[in-house]
Amino acid sequence: MAQTLPAPQQLAPRRLSTLDRWLPAWIGAAMLAGLALGRFVPSLADGLAQLEVGGISLPIGLGLLVMMYPVLAKVRYDRVSAVTGDTRLLVSSLVLNWILGPALMFALAWVFLPDLPEYRTGLIIVGLARCIAMVVIWNDLACGDREAAAVLVAINSVFQVVAFSLLGWFYLSVLPGWLGLDTQGLDVSVGQIALNVLVFLGVPLAAGFASRAIGERTRGRDWYESRFVPRIGPWALYGLLFTIVLLFALQGDAVTRNPLDVARIALPLLVYFAVMWALGLATGKALALGYARSTTLAFTAAGNNFELAIAVAIGTFGATSGQALAGVVGPLIEVPVLVGLVYVSLWAARRWFATDPYATPAPQEVRP
């Protein structure tokens, strides 16, 4: 007998908590605190630099793990198969992240920084490092599809390992040579990239999956969703704020001593984040993906893996190089811009998608 779905049930409202509503203020305070620490406590940067293993800063790694775990623990992994079957979402994400994104950053770097090769190269490296970490926070705050975000982040991770070095060679050596422009080299191992992906995605993803599997098996889904998830939820923002303080502290002195250089690097980054986000949202709208998946597509396209970009720039060109400074400016601009785009997304949900982003449909059962 044919199966029919019942009429949609009453929508249950879901609102931002006080912590989430004041997010811009918390982030602004964290940025200022980090800049002040970097400027007035210069020994802090040296201390953090000593706490590195394989080019990965342990304190920053800890902050990122604390930030990502709660969001990945919220993912309903039994729904992931519905995302992997959406070829429109997957193909559009791959095109945006691995074709349009690097090409756009290459063009912007040459348009805005034709006379500053070090900063230009640093920006191109940022464009090659697709986001696998902080995007889960922006997606969650904008009420995007958590399961879709987990799948797209996993796909980006695989492509990161396979394609980063190849694309770096193409955009820094081959394409500039074809166009008669200056060329730069990029020496980064697949092992370094794989380690970055393992630490910043593999560990929190495994922990999140294990938490849900064990929690639901021992206490049930109702307890997990109503008791466990609300308890760990705020730690995502605590981890985010801790990470921001450390990132700004590491380069606070360089940023405050070179404000004009930072401004020149910031301009193409602002254009990049806005254009990639808009392309992602418009693509989702055109493909009729709905608000949740469209905003997930937008944020996964706009975000970048600044941890990898900074590590590669420092490892290849040195910690005091212009390439490293450009890599560090990336998250300094990305964080406030993408926070702003969270609010633009929530506005667009009602304006362009005619939906309430905070309304969660009650589960629907299939009846014979």
More reliable by pLDDT, 73 or 4: 73
Let me know the angle formed at the C-alpha of 296 by 26 and 161, rounded to the nearest 5 degrees: 95
CB 92 within 8 A of CB 248: no
What secondary structure letter does DSSP report for 51?
S
Region class of 366: left (phi > 0), else alpha (psi between -120 and 50), else beta? beta
- Helices marked H in the chain: 18-21, 23-40, 43-50, 58-74, 80-84, 87-95, 101-112, 117-128, 135-141, 146-169, 175-178, 190-197, 203-219, 221-223, 229-232, 234-257, 259-286, 291-302, 306-317, 322-351
Shortest CA distance to 310 belongs to which of 27, 57, 47, 39? Answer: 57
pLDDT digit string, tens, across residues 218-277? 999 899 988 998 888 888 788 878 877 887 787 666 677 778 888 899 999 999 999 999
Which secondary-structure segment (H or E) carries 13? strand 11-13
CA distance 87 to 287: 11
pTM over 0.85: no
φ, ψ of residue 295 in degrees (nearest 5)? -70, -30
**DSSP states of 163-190:** HHHHHHHIIIIIHHHHTT---------H
CA distance 101 to 309: 14
Buried/exposed 85-113: b ≥16 CB within 10 Å, e otherwise: ebeebbebbeebbbebbbebbbebbbebb
User: In the beta sheet, which residues pair with residue 13?
Assistant: 359
- Read off the tokens for 183: 């060329």
Cα 357 to Cα 79, 135, 199, 222, 353: the distances in Å are 19, 18, 32, 23, 9
pLDDT digit string, tens, across residues 263-302? 899 999 999 999 999 999 999 999 999 999 999 999 999 9
CA distance 143 to 133: 17
CB 157 within 8 A of CB 201: yes
- Read off the tokens for 70: 């709660």
| Predicted pLDDT of residue 7 | 38
Shortest CA distance to 153 belongs to which of 300, 294, 297, 273? Answer: 300
Percent of the chain at pLDDT exceeding 70 = 82
**DSSP states of 306-361:** HHHHHHHHHHHH-TTSHHHHHHHHHHHHHHHHHHHHHHHHHHHHHHTS-S-TTEEE
pLDDT digit string, tens, across residues 312-347? 776 677 666 778 788 878 877 888 888 899 999 999
Region class of 305: left (phi > 0), else alpha (psi between -120 and 50), else beta? beta
| Predicted pLDDT of residue 201 | 67
